[in-house]
Chains A and B, each alone.
Chain A
Amino acid sequence: MSIQSQIRSNVTKTYFFMAGFIAFVILIGYVMGNALGYGNSFMYLAVIISVISSFVSYYWGDKMVLAMSGARPADRQRDFDFFTVTENLAIAAGIPKPKLYVIEDTAMNAFATGRDPEHAIVCATTGLLERMDRREIEGVIAHELSHVKNFDTRLMAVVAVLVGTIAFLADMFMRSLWWGGGRRNSRDRDGNLGGILMIVGIVLAILSPVIATIIQLAIS
C-alpha cells in the first residue's frame, strides 16, 4: 500500500468508525432507555453526548492529553537533540515541524497526537531523552512522525473518546438500575417486554465497554 492510500484509508476509517460508534451509541441508548422506562429520551441524550464527544475529541483531544500528562513545551537549549532531530526529520518527511513537549518522568515513553500534520504534537519523557543518544532518539521520532503523517493520530484520538463515551453511558445505565427503576410510561403495558428489554439492557451495559475496546484494538 502506498503512503497516499494508507492516509486515505485512515481518514476514511476515522469517518466510518465515528459513524459506527454513533450508531452503536444510539442503539444502546434506545435499548437502555426503553428498558428503564424512559422511552426515547435516553437515546436522544446519548446521541447528543456522543456527537459532542466526537467533536471535542477531534478539535481538542491533543490539548486534553497534554493537560492530563503535565507536559512542558520543549526548549531548544535544554532539549537540543530532541528539538533538532525532530526539525531534521520533519524536513525529510515534508511535514511542518510538530510542537514538542516534554514530560518529567523516569519511564521511557514517547507519543504523537493531533488531528493532522499541521496540528501535530510529539511528546517524550525525560527518562527517554536522558537515556537515549541522538541516533536512538532519531529512531523514536521517525516512528512518531510516521504516525502523524499517516493520520493514525486522528483516528486513535476519535476512537479513544468514543470508547470512553460508551463506557460512560453503560455506567450511567447501571447506576440508574441500582438507584431504583424508571418511570413507567404508557408504552410499557406489557410486563414481559419490559423484562426482556431490561435483560438485554444489562447485557449490553456489561458488554459494550468490552466491545468498544475490542473495536479500538482492531483499529490500532
Chain B
Amino acid sequence: MSPTVIVIGIVVLIALYVWSLYNGLVGLRMQVAEAWSQIDVQLKRRADLIPNLVESVKGYAKHEKSVFTAVTDAHKAMLGAQTMDTKAKASDALSGALGKLLALSENYPDLKANENFIQLQKELSDTEDKVAYSRQYYNTSVTDYNTRLQVFPNTLFAANFGFTPKEFFGATDTDREPVKVNFS
C-alpha cells in the first residue's frame, strides 16, 4: 500500500467520522428541543384542568373568594407566560394557589366526598407527575447531548459547527428551602 493510499484512507475515515458526529449531534439537539416542548405540553394540560376544578369547588365553597381569585389570577398568568422565566414563576404561583384550593376540601366534607372532585384531584396529581417526568426526560436529553459534545475526540470539532451546551432544569432557590407545613 503506497503512502498516498494510506493518507487518502485516513482522510476518508476522518471525514466519515465528522459526518456521523455532526448528524448525531443534530439528532440529539432535536431531542432536547422536543423534550423542552413536552414540558410545555404537560403544563398546558395542567392549566386546562383548572377551570373544571374551580367550578366543582365553587359548587360547595362559594364564599372562599380569596382562594378562587388566587387560582384564577395564577391561571391567567400561566396562559399568558411566554418566556421560560415567566413560565416557571407562573407555574410555581399556580402550584401554591392549587394547594390552598385543594386544602379547602378539609373544611367542606361534602366537597371532599364528591366523585367529580375526587377524580379531578387524581387527574391533577397525575398531571403534576407528568410535568415532573417530562422535566426528567428533558434533563436526560440534555445529558446525552452535552456528553456527546464534551467527550474527547468530539470537542475538537463540535464548537466549529456551532453546537453549544444546554442547561439543565434545576430547582429554584425557593424549592430548596425547607417546606413549611401550615394548616391555618
- Give Cα distance in the complex from A91 to B137, angstroms: 7
- Give Cα distance in the complex from A76 to B122, angstroms: 12
- Residues on A lying within 8 angstroms of B by beta carbon are 80, 84, 87-89, 91-94
Q: Is B64 interfacial (CB 8 A cutoff)?
A: no
- Give Cα distance in the complex from A94 to B38, angstroms: 10
| A87-B130 in contact given A92-B136, A92-B137, A94-B141 (Cβ < 8 Å) | yes
Q: Is B134 interfacial (CB 8 A cutoff)?
A: yes
Cβ A91 vs Cβ B126 within 8 A: no
Interface of chain A, main secondary structure: helix
Interface string of B126-157 (1 = CB under 8 A from A): 10011001101100110000000000000000
| A91-B133 in contact given A80-B122, A84-B126 (Cβ < 8 Å) | yes
Nearest-Cβ distance from residue B72 to partner chain A, whole angstroms: 26
- Give Cα distance in the complex from A94 to B137, angstroms: 7
- Give Cα distance in the complex from A80 to B130, angstroms: 14
Cβ A88 vs Cβ B126 within 8 A: yes
Nearest-Cβ distance from residue B45 to partner chain A, whole angstroms: 11
Cβ B141 vs Cβ A88 within 8 A: no
Q: A84-B129, A91-B42 are in contact. List 15 more A-B contacts (CB 8 A).
A: A80-B122, A84-B126, A88-B126, A89-B133, A91-B38, A91-B130, A92-B133, A92-B134, A92-B136, A92-B137, A93-B137, A94-B35, A94-B137, A94-B140, A94-B141
Q: Which residues of B contact A89 (CB under 8 A)?
A: 133
Kindly report which residue of chain A lies nearest to residue B139, judged by CB atoms.
A92
Nearest-Cβ distance from residue B184 to partner chain A, whole angstroms: 30
